[in-house]
Amino acid sequence: MNTANSVTVLLELEPSTEVIGSQEIDIGARVRWVHAAHQGAARTLCGLDPRGLEPERYRPSSPDQPWCPPAHHTRRCPACDTLLGETG
- Residue 87 pLDDT level (bands cut at 50, 70, 90): very low
pLDDT at 36 exceeding the cut of 70: yes
- The Cα 63–Cα 11 span in angstroms is 21
The domain limits of the chain are: 4-84
pLDDT tens-digit profile of 42-71? 999 999 999 889 999 998 888 788 999 999
Percent of the chain topping pLDDT 90: 51
User: What global pTM score does this model have?
Assistant: 0.78
70: Cβ contacts below 8 Å, ≥ 6 apart: none
Is the pLDDT at 4 greater than 70, yes or no? no
Query: Which amino acid, residue 2?
Result: N
